[in-house]
Structure 1
Amino acid sequence: MATTKENTKDCLGMWVTADGHVRQELLPNGRYDEARGNRKSAYQGKYWIEGDHIDYKDDTGFTADGEFRDGVLYHGGMIFYKEK
C-alpha cells in the first residue's frame, strides 16, 4: 500500500454511511471489505492512499476513488463517517 499521509492509521477501520447501509472496512494490509445492507463482503479488493486521496480496485477489476476531508470519506457519491 503506497502511503504518504502522515495519519494513515487514522484512515484504517470501519467507515459507515449515516444510514448504516454501506459499511467499508479499510484493513491494515491494504485491502478493504465492503458490506451493503444485509450483504456482507459485497465488494472486496485493494486500496492505496496518497495524501488525502484513496484509490480502490476490487477483486473483479473495477476501480473507484475517494477523498478524505476533515475526517470524512467521500467515495462513490456517498459520505462515510469513521465508526468509533
Structure 2
Amino acid sequence: MTGETAGHSYVGMWVTGDDLIRHELLPNGRYVEARGNRESAYQGRYEITGNHIQYWDDTGFTADGDFIDGVLHHAGMILYRDQ
C-alpha cells in the first residue's frame, strides 16, 4: 500500500448507475467488490497513483482503472461516488 492510498480522497464506496456493481475502497489499501446480491464477489488490495488505480484480487487476477472528472472508469464500467 502506498502512503497516497491510505488517506486518498478516492477512498469510499463507488457504484455503477444501476447499483449492480459496488466497489468499496477501504483506507487500509484493500477493496471489496459486490455484484448484485453477492456482497464479497471479489476482494483484494489496491494502490492509487495520481488518478490511476491498480487492483490485485486475492484470487490472482489484476485490473486497473482511472478516475476522470470524479468518475471511476474500470474494466468497461463507470462507477460513481456513492453519496
- Same fold (TM > 0.5): yes
TM-score (norm 1): 0.91
User: What stretches of structure 1 move > 4 A for 4+ residues in a row?
Assistant: none
Alignment partners' CA distance in 1, 2:3 and 2:71: 18
| Paired-residue identity, % | 63
Shift of 1:3: 5.0
SS at 1:11's partner residue?
coil
Number of matched pairs? 82
Residues 31-46 of structure 1 aligned to structure 2 (within 5 Å): 31-46=30-45
Mind listing any 5+ residue stretches in structure 1 that lack a counterpart? none
Aligned-partner residue type, residue 12 of structure 1: V
Aligned-partner residue type, residue 2 of structure 1: T
Q: Does 1:51 align with 2:50?
A: yes
Post-superposition Cα deviations, 1:52-81, rounded to whole Å, max 9, x if no partner, equal: 100000001100000001100000100000
Specify the alignment match of 1:71 in structure 2: 70
Mind listing any 5+ residue stretches in structure 2 that lack a counterpart? none
